[in-house]
Structure 1
Amino acid sequence: MRISYRNIKRYKEIIRILIKYGFSYIVEKLNIEGVAYKIPITNPSEEIKQMSTGEKIRRAFEELGPTYVKLGQILSTRKDLLDQDIIDELSLLRDSVEPFDTDIAKEIFKEEIGLDIEKVFNEFNPNPIGAASIGQVYEAKLQNGEDVIIKIQRPNIESRIKSDLEILKGMVLAFKDSNKHSSIDVIQIIEEFQTQLMRELDYNFEAINAMKFRKMFENSREVYIPKIYGEFTTKKVLVMEKIIGIKLNDAEKIKELNWDTKIISDIGIKSLFKQVFEYGFFHADPHPGNIFVVSQNTISYIDFGMVGIVDRNTLNALNEIAVALVEKNVDRVIYILTEMDVINNEVDIIGLRQDLLYLIHYYYDVPIEKINISDIMNEVFRFFRRYKVSIPSQLSTLAKAVITLEGTGRDLNPNFSVSSIGKEFMKHYYINKFNPQNAFLKSKHMTEEIISDMKTIPKQMRGILRNIEKNNIKIQLEDIKFASLEEIMRDLTTQVSLSLVLAAIIVGSSLIISSPNITNNIWIRFTALSGFFISFIIGILIVVKIIRIQYKKK
């Protein structure tokens, strides 16, 4: 492995820590030219030898600094890649480091805002209330008396993280070259990690996320999102409204105030599903330290550096899988996973089907109040690792968020069960499924897809015919199912014909209704309205036809 000599000191530090915690075989495999041979490979101490692999990795990441702490936190969400004992250890990683000098923080604030910190704030507490790997947090009071918190980024942290990322990418490429048959796409993981980390280095991203959440819950009495002061927010400085409340995991203090912990835990679950189902945008790090209880009926999220996004197609697939599991339809589950392109060609489908069927029947008849969602998720992810099912990272992040909230919910309310999550899931599922606006949008998207196909299919057919004419395509006739092909072409022709008629009637009716004579002649008005009515019927027929075709595929 070749190295960048401007980072030679950091390479040596990384190698020393890897060897210290018994990962010398990684150093040997990477074969870092000009560095590794200068550092003697020694046996780890007896204390380290007694540690589990997960604890060794966690300790090494903590010593390696902020970049690796963040990497560990992100890897702790990837249950589809790592064993549970390693996940448990990585989940303990926290951004707790030594604070840096407040005078330096004031200088950074002035460089970013252009004003002394004392001129912006009426009061400023020079003792930081939190010191994380990327930034430091202070309490202050604006000139108008509003309480705020200030995040100020650590000096030179960006350059250090960029150097670490450069080294990490080099190590990952070397690892990939020496493990070409590995099923884990380490390059993709590092690229996702780099994107996430670079966003966390820019507080503008966190500010935008907070403003989106504030808009999302602006009419809610159950969830409050702190205000962002944009005039005092830059890449390295963030000023946010201070939330005064009790941390979500402080159940004793909440009970002392006689607040109903069941209501509070239910609000947490409902708020998560609102984020996921209605917006496809959710808080990806809802651990108890990031959620405050501000009253007996209101919670507040803070720290919006990590968010998750679930696109509509993935969410629909997730809904379909949930329904298929309820119906014990294993083949349907496998079909959906195949459509999502998460099952590769080398997977043992017969074994996958048998094990999935066993998994479903194992949990199906268990009383719902006795089911722990963490156990289910862990079992599912072990199952995915065994069959090399590479689920989207957004679903891993969502699963981690649900598990985190369930754990907190059980701390608050001993009677909390997975049924609370299940009921909320099905409620949002059916609300979204039968929402007239969503149904209209789905029909609109289907129509747009048909029109798009009408435009592209002729071009594709011309391209295929051109290649056939040039003898660039070899067709094995025995592999073609002509009956199936004829049926597909007939269905496609019917859809195209109906769509053309639909488009013609809508355009014609629109031209008629815009005519200046429409108010003078009742027959002209009747013709226009009839056209719209007929187009509505044809639109329904197209949707029914598409649904029937999709049903036949299943």
Structure 2
Amino acid sequence: MKLLAVRRLFRIQRVVIRYRLDDLLFELPLPWWLMALRHLMPWRWLPRKTLDLSRGARLRLALQDLGPIFIKFGQLLSTRRDLLPEDIADELMLLQDRVPPFDPQHAVALIEEQLGAKISEVFSRFDVEPLASASVAQVHAAKLKSGEEVVVKVVRPGLKPVIAQDLAWLFLIARGAERVSADARLLHPVEVVNDYEKTIYDELDLLREAANASQLKRNFEGSEMMYVPQVYWDWCRPKVLVMERIYGIQVTDLATLADQRTDMKMLAERGVEIFFTQVFRDSFFHADMHPGNIFVSTVKPWSPQYIAIDCGIVGSLTPEDQDYLARNLFAFFKRDYRRVAQLHIDSGWVPAHTKLNEFEAAIRTVCEPIFEKPLKDISFGQVLMRLFQTARRFNMEVQPQLVLLQKTLLNIEGLGRQLYPELDLWSTAQPFLERWMRERVSPKNLLQNLHGQVEQIPHLAGMTRDLLERMSQPHQAEPPGAWQQKGDGWALRLLGAGLLGGGATLAAGAVSLSAPAAWPAWLMLAAGLYLIVRR
């Protein structure tokens, strides 16, 4: 463990003591011997300096002092009002865009350093006081020389050392948990922290955020559901981002939305549809959808349009993950719990020896109570707890590649609960999934898949020929007995055919050669055999 990480641990301890966060722990129903520990903690005998602050304010200030990783944790918690007391949730809401700003002069100096020009040379107006401030960056309003109203986002200085120290402790905790707990190993905590490390460092690169925003804007070009501001690439740098300034109502400002007679039901439904569109149609979804990053246009309140900002964190899924999730959700909506259980086994999420009937019954017990109820009556916290119990019983493994998706789902649920508590999340999402499943097997998509597979034939054939030529060189020694039983020629033929046929199957995105969409792979397999025999 590096010295800086040890110093960071003491810093965390000081913050916990300063804001007496241990009080939150001792408010829980704990065993008597744990409750007795509070009398052995020396700082609890010292005068308290935070008596005038509420518990929510103390938690918020502690997370702010601890830095971006802890602030983001608080942002996620703020969307789960069903899991938090009201006073704590209200305070954590302030973490979304009201984090104390850093010195504006430091921001100006960093912008000029990144752009290689004075502020006055680029902008006709630049507001020194920040428009908003978040955990990783802060935003200033400005006006380009060409007349466009823009916002200038600049990364906070000195973040990387703090993040590195926090990550060092997260890795230490994750490795320790894996060593001592079988349940923890099922959750792959080290892989989860690895994914989070990549995500947080990517968020520090504003060029990546600009590219994400441009892609998301193209995906929803002309859409009535969502608008993404324009990026001005000429003035974007790794630590500075310049983009169109938007004017809208923050999505949690329910009073203002009501004053302009916003259709809240449509707003909530469009939020769900936007999420599923990003995940399944585009495989490119905004993965930081806390309320501070979402606004609502004031142009058509009867047909409300979302405005999305801060695209620093996005997620994507492989075709296999998309197909697996869609089939699971589709079976889930149909209450086909046997199909859900079978898909989990087929995907390897639970061991192959799992008894299907028992697993099906366990899933039914967890999922059945949530149907035919409005969102306000569903406690997803309880559902998640029971699902975790099921996971432990059947050795189900959490997939690290879906952590961002799970986080985004939590944000969507929390937002939907605030906008329109009567929203039926399932009936809103089911038609979209049904339509997506039909489109996947439409003649148009099948022809597109076939075209993509045909394009792979010359490349795969060339790879096969090159491999065979390398393996047949007389000066290259072969492992003893490798090709002796059935002859070198037949082994090479089978190897080449397997390579070509397997490559075609991967190009088709099919799970097996028996799938309907995989029949062109048989043609490619035959082509591979023909090429090898002809040789």
Shift, 1:7, TM fit: 4.8
Shift, 1:202, TM fit: 0.9
2:317 is equivalent to residue 315 of structure 1: no
* Greater mean deviation of Cα atoms: 315-324 or 98-107: 315-324
Shift, 1:440, TM fit: 3.3
**Structure 1 residues 250 and 445: CA distance shift in structure 2, 3 A:** same
Q: 1:247 aligns with which of 230, 246, 250?
A: 250
Other structure's SS at 1:226 match:
coil
Other structure's SS at 1:387 match:
helix
Query: Residues 213 and 225 of structure 1 are in contact (CA less than 8 Å); yes or no, is this contact kept in structure 2?
Result: yes
- Listed as ranges, the matches of 1:167-206 within 5 Å are 167-179=169-181, 182-183=184-185, 184-206=187-209
For 2:266 and 2:361, the matched residues in 1 are separated by: 40
- Give the equivalent residue in structure 2 for 1:42: 42
2:379 is equivalent to residue 375 of structure 1: yes
Q: 1:131 aligns with which of 130, 133, 143?
A: 133
- Give the equivalent residue in structure 2 for 1:547: none
Shift, 1:115, TM fit: 0.8
Other structure's SS at 2:147 match:
coil
**Structure 1 residues 504 and 131: CA distance shift in structure 2, 3 A:** closer
Aligned identity (percent) is 26
- Give the equivalent residue in structure 2 for 1:119: 121
Equivalent position amino acid for 2:387 in 1? F
- Listed as ranges, the matches of 1:472-511 within 5 Å are 499=523, 503=527
- Give the equivalent residue in structure 2 for 1:155: 157
Task: After superposition, give the CA deviation of every residue in 1:250-304 in whole Å (9 maximum; x if it has no partner).
Answer: 2332332344333333333322222112111111222333222222133211111
2:218 is equivalent to residue 230 of structure 1: no
For 2:113 and 2:404, the matched residues in 1 are separated by: 36
Shift, 1:378, TM fit: 5.0
For 1:314 and 1:140, the matched residues in 2 are separated by: 42
Q: 1:16 aligns with which of 14, 39, 54?
A: 14
Query: Residues 69 and 95 of structure 1 are in contact (CA less than 8 Å); yes or no, is this contact kept in structure 2?
Result: no
Shift, 1:72, TM fit: 5.5
What is the aligned residue count?
Answer: 455
Query: Residues 276 and 429 of structure 2 are in contact (CA less than 8 Å); yes or no, is this contact kept in structure 1?
Result: no
- Give the equivalent residue in structure 2 for 1:214: 217
For 2:319 and 2:84, the matched residues in 1 are separated by: 33
TM-score, length of structure 2 as denominator length = 0.70
Please give the root-mean-square deviation of Cα atoms over the aligned residues, in Å.
4.7
Q: 2:306 aligns with which of 287, 292, 299?
A: 299
Shift, 1:22, TM fit: 4.0
Shift, 1:143, TM fit: 1.1
Q: 1:281 aligns with which of 279, 284, 308?
A: 284
- Give the equivalent residue in structure 2 for 1:70: 72
| Structure 1, gaps ≥5 residues long | 26-39, 470-489, 508-554
For 1:377 and 1:41, the matched residues in 2 are separated by: 32
Query: Residues 410 and 417 of structure 1 are in contact (CA less than 8 Å); yes or no, is this contact kept in structure 2?
Result: no
For 1:254 and 1:206, the matched residues in 2 are separated by: 28
Task: After superposition, give the CA deviation of every residue in 1:464-515 in whole Å (9 maximum; x if it has no partner).
Answer: x95998xxxxxxxxxxxxxxxxxxxx999xx8996368649999xxxxxxxx
Equivalent position amino acid for 2:205 in 1? D
**Structure 1 residues 393 and 438: CA distance shift in structure 2, 3 A:** farther
Query: Residues 373 and 403 of structure 1 are in contact (CA less than 8 Å); yes or no, is this contact kept in structure 2?
Result: no
Task: After superposition, give the CA deviation of every residue in 1:79-136 in whole Å (9 maximum; x if it has no partner).
Answer: 9xxx9569x9797554643222111111101111111112211111111121222211
Query: Residues 277 and 432 of structure 1 are in contact (CA less than 8 Å); yes or no, is this contact kept in structure 2?
Result: no
Query: Residues 151 and 237 of structure 1 are in contact (CA less than 8 Å); yes or no, is this contact kept in structure 2?
Result: yes
Query: Residues 71 and 193 of structure 1 are in contact (CA less than 8 Å); yes or no, is this contact kept in structure 2?
Result: no
For 2:183 and 2:269, the matched residues in 1 are separated by: 45
TM-score, length of structure 1 as denominator length = 0.68
For 1:420 and 1:277, the matched residues in 2 are separated by: 17
Other structure's SS at 2:230 match:
coil
Shift, 1:397, TM fit: 3.4
Query: Residues 347 and 387 of structure 1 are in contact (CA less than 8 Å); yes or no, is this contact kept in structure 2?
Result: no
Q: 1:435 aligns with which of 431, 442, 464?
A: 442
Shift, 1:177, TM fit: 4.3
Q: 2:404 aligns with which of 392, 397, 400?
A: 397
Equivalent position amino acid for 1:124 in 2? F
2:287 is equivalent to residue 263 of structure 1: no
For 1:7 and 1:420, the matched residues in 2 are separated by: 48
